[in-house]
Structure 1
Amino acid sequence: MIWYQLALTALLVLLLAIALANYATFARIRRNSIPLHPLPASILVPARNEERNIERCVGSLLKQEYPEFEVVVLNDNSTDATGEILQRLAAANPRLTILEGGPLPSGWVGKNWACHQLARAATGTLLLFTDADTDHSPESLRAAVALMQQQRLDLLSGVPRQTMLTFWEKVIVPMTQFLYFVYLPNVFITRLRNPQFAAFNGQFMLFRREAYWKIGGHESVRGALIEDLVIGRRAKAHGLRTALATAVETVRCRMYTSLPEILEGFAKNLVPGFGYSLPAVVGFMAATLLLYVVPAVMVVVGLAVGDCSVAMVTLPALQLAIAATMRGIMAIRFGMGWEQLLLHPLSAAMAAVVAANSIRWHFGKRGASWKGRRYV
């Protein structure tokens, strides 16, 4: 038992070292940055059933402090009031163009088809794909272009500040950032060409136009449920310069508003994120439980039965402290609250639940579904 606990503690110390390195090296899209050459830009927004978010999103994009840009929104066959809201906004804003999406072709995922149509309509030298549930400060585009030019990037992906209002949002949503902040050194993303070392966020993807079409655009990932990761890997495979940066100063996003939405959204993405490998997903579940949940259980049980030995309480308590430190470092970098320090064991347990649900979806007869569409 003691050797197992020592090995587990050593592994967590290694992960803490990665988190500290990422804290120091993670690029940041800074609000006050000014690009040397503000090239013409197209801001492209796919929107399907986004009546709750679309007016706020588009309104923030139209206020960009940038000399030459257009906003193009595609209404992807919405069945709610999204289309009506967009038409009203377009009537008052000549900079805004509204596209009506065509029928979804066979073999395409809805978002990828929408982004493909948007890219074909765009006129800018730079293409910013951003989700309809984002909210941008006036400096958002300008600051991102500045970082892209400073680092001579072909693709810059930004991680917005996640707006989390409910308990379960605060528990589950941060696990996405935790995965690439703790397990993947950021220098691997930016400096290694190996496409396996990739992490990208589809909420904010800024391409140079020629780079986007060089890799085949969204047409090349038409059937991918996690198009951001797959298109980012294609960019790296083609030798393009890429980076993942925090955009917490300039962009906000509320991904989900309820537990059912959270479970559905993450279940759609988790198995594809592991390359549809069942052993990899099961391994992730086991590692997550062993690293972050079992230590909490051991401390509680040890204290309850009066066994306060090193193996039963001391080392597991140290493991919990290391995990909380990693979560705290991540919370600082991504603009999250200090409650994150206390939530990690529960977050890890829920990550295992999400993984099990994702397995049920993707390896069962149900298939994945999102926005009223089913992908088997």
Structure 2
Amino acid sequence: MFMLILSIVGMAMTGILFYHFPRLPHFSDKKGETPTVSVIIPARNEAENLPLILEDLKKQTIPIVDIICVDDSSSDDTAAVALAHGAFVIQLKEKPAQWMGKSWACQCGAAQAKGELLLFIDADVRLGHQAIEALVHQQMVQQAVISVQPYHHTQQFYEQLSLFFNLVLIGANGAALPKQRAIGLFGPIILMERQVYWQIGGHGSVRQCIAEDVSLGEILKAANIPFQLFIGNHDIRFRMYAGGIGDLIHGWTKNMATGASKTPILRGIMVFCWISSLIAVPMTLPPFLAAGQWGFASLFLTLYVLWVVLLKHLSKEIGDFRFWGIILYPIPLLAFLMIFMVSLIKKIFGLQVHWKGRSMGTR
């Protein structure tokens, strides 16, 4: 009976945690004066991704003052590729000891930017031709910092393992609640006014933070500066961890426990119940089948099918995850639990995590 109640309560949390996926609204075709925009791309070993995002930036419907690629001590041809595609390149040889690499790259890029608005964007993001115009329009309407979690494009088998990381990231951050109560920004795309950026100390205010996006949101809240989160679509998308399953494991290990530690208690309980229900249903079904208790087996089989339907709907909102991965959802769920536990252990004991050839502490 306990497992049945847990399963139903956790399933009900779906309607709260994922009530509404906020999209960038369609904007009017009416042309008017818009703030100038500088694009800053922190890049470490991004020679393969840069041609794609830099070509996307050339096709935008509003002009961009400057495109700054900050080569964060890459071991590949990042700088040469960026130059070949028309970006202004800043090459960093070493980062200060107390800085995380991405934050240092963003700070150095912002110091050279000329635009009234600063758009920080990861190299693996892809943009439709009206994407930046939509971002700027929303910034002007909201008079707030704008941040987007891109739509997750997947190709390989192992990329299906990111399903629950994406959902927990959105749910725990509060981006899809009935009334958005976000705890932080989304790292791949952040747009803010230049004066706001320097008012909060830029990335220098979060120089030691692994999850700098979440910490920036906390800094903005403390300064009473509003921010608004959105979920991307096919016009704002990315392919995370295309380098293989090792990249996926290291990337999610780096961020998960840090983000969880900043989640409000009530929301954390809701996410815990949601995950527990996902675990309870497939764990409880086999024993009932083995014992020949067909009534309970039918009930939990029905709950399993309901979870597949719900996850199919949710997955369509955040990425192009494959249906077979949804049917076999215990596999990506197990991957999530294992990586989260490793991340949590590293966080508790202050162990090093590894990302793009660097080791960093988790405290």
| Range moving further from structure 2, 179-188 or 291-300 | 179-188
Name the structure 2 match of 1:251. 236
Instruction: State the Cα deviation string for residues 176-198 of structure 1 (Å, max 9, x = none).
Output: 33114445654769765xxxx42
Instruction: State the Cα deviation string for residues 87-126 of structure 1 (Å, max 9, x = none).
Output: 3223xxxxx3111125210111000000000111111111
Instruction: State the Cα deviation string for residues 33-75 of structure 1 (Å, max 9, x = none).
Output: 6675421000100111111211112121122221343211111
Equivalent position amino acid for 1:146 in 2: H
* SS of residue matched to 2:150: strand
Question: Offset of 1:159 from its aligned partner?
Answer: 1.8
Name the structure 2 match of 1:155. 145
Does 1:330 find its partner at 2:296? no
- Report the RMSD for the aligned CA atoms in angstroms: 2.9
Compared with structure 1, are the counterparts of its residues 87 and 352 closer, same or farther at alpha carbon in structure 2 (3 Å cutoff)? same
Instruction: State the Cα deviation string for residues 140-182 of structure 1 (Å, max 9, x = none).
Output: 21111112222x2321111212121111211x22223311444
Separation of aligned partners in 1, 2:237 and 2:31: 21
Separation of aligned partners in 2, 1:355 and 1:296: 20
Say whether the 8 Å CA contact 2:42–2:122 is kept in structure 1. Answer: yes
Equivalent position amino acid for 2:107 in 1: H
Name the structure 1 match of 2:157. 167
Say whether the 8 Å CA contact 1:31–1:250 is kept in structure 2. Answer: no
Does 1:119 find its partner at 2:110? yes
Scaled by the length of structure 2, the TM-score of the pair is 0.87
> Which of 261, 280, 283 is the equivalent residue of 1:275?
261
Structure 2 unmatched ranges of 5 or more: none
Compared with structure 1, are the counterparts of its residues 37 and 83 closer, same or farther at alpha carbon in structure 2 (3 Å cutoff)? same
Does 1:203 find its partner at 2:173? no
Scaled by the length of structure 1, the TM-score of the pair is 0.85
Instruction: State the Cα deviation string for residues 240-270 of structure 1 (Å, max 9, x = none).
Output: 2211112213222111122111111111111
Separation of aligned partners in 2, 1:9 and 1:316: 10
Compared with structure 1, are the counterparts of its residues 11 and 175 closer, same or farther at alpha carbon in structure 2 (3 Å cutoff)? closer
Separation of aligned partners in 2, 1:99 and 1:190: 40
Compared with structure 1, are the counterparts of its residues 184 and 77 closer, same or farther at alpha carbon in structure 2 (3 Å cutoff)? closer
Separation of aligned partners in 1, 2:6 and 2:350: 40
* SS of residue matched to 1:22: coil
* SS of residue matched to 2:19: helix
Equivalent position amino acid for 1:75 in 2: D
Equivalent position amino acid for 2:224 in 1: G
Equivalent position amino acid for 1:43 in 2: V
> Within 5 A, what are the aligned runs for 1:1-376?
2-13=1-12, 15-19=13-17, 21-23=19-21, 26-28=22-24, 30=26, 36-90=32-86, 96-150=87-141, 152-170=142-160, 172-183=161-172, 185-186=174-175, 192=181, 197-257=182-242, 258-275=244-261, 290-310=276-296, 313-337=297-321, 339=323, 341-364=326-349, 366-376=351-361
Structure 1 unmatched ranges of 5 or more: 91-95
Say whether the 8 Å CA contact 2:3–2:280 is kept in structure 1. Answer: no
Q: Percent identity?
A: 22
